[in-house]
């Protein structure tokens, strides 16, 4: 099953269908990054994108660090 999540960006409404197992996580993250009830400027979208990519960057660095320790 899937769940539909919606978001308003730059005056337009967007819906995304995601699997139930991922929907809870994504909905929580969207509440942290966006105004779920109102409109979001494009700047907010860009800031969220950069923030999430920074988190991914840090995770990948940590994975490399752990992998190097396991190779020894």
Domain boundaries along the sequence of the chain: 2-71
> How confident is the model at residue 72, as a pLDDT?
72
Answer whether residue 54 shows pLDDT above 80.
yes
Helix (H) or strand (E) holding 11: none
Mean pLDDT of the chain: 96
Using alpha carbons, list the distances in angstroms from residue 8 to 21, 38, 49, 57, 63: 23, 7, 16, 27, 35
Percent of the chain with pLDDT over 70: 100
For residues 37 and 31, what is the distance between their CA atoms, to the nearest angstrom? 9
């Amino acid at each position: 099953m899937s769940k539909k999540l919606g978001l308003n960006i730059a005056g337009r409404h967007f819906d995304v269908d995601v699997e139930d197992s991922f929907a809870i996580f994504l909905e929580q993250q969207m509440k942290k990054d966006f105004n779920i009830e109102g409109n979001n400027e494009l700047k907010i979208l860009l800031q969220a994108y950069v923030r999430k990519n920074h988190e991914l960057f840090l995770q990948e660095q940590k994975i490399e660090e752990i992998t190097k320790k396991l190779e020894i």
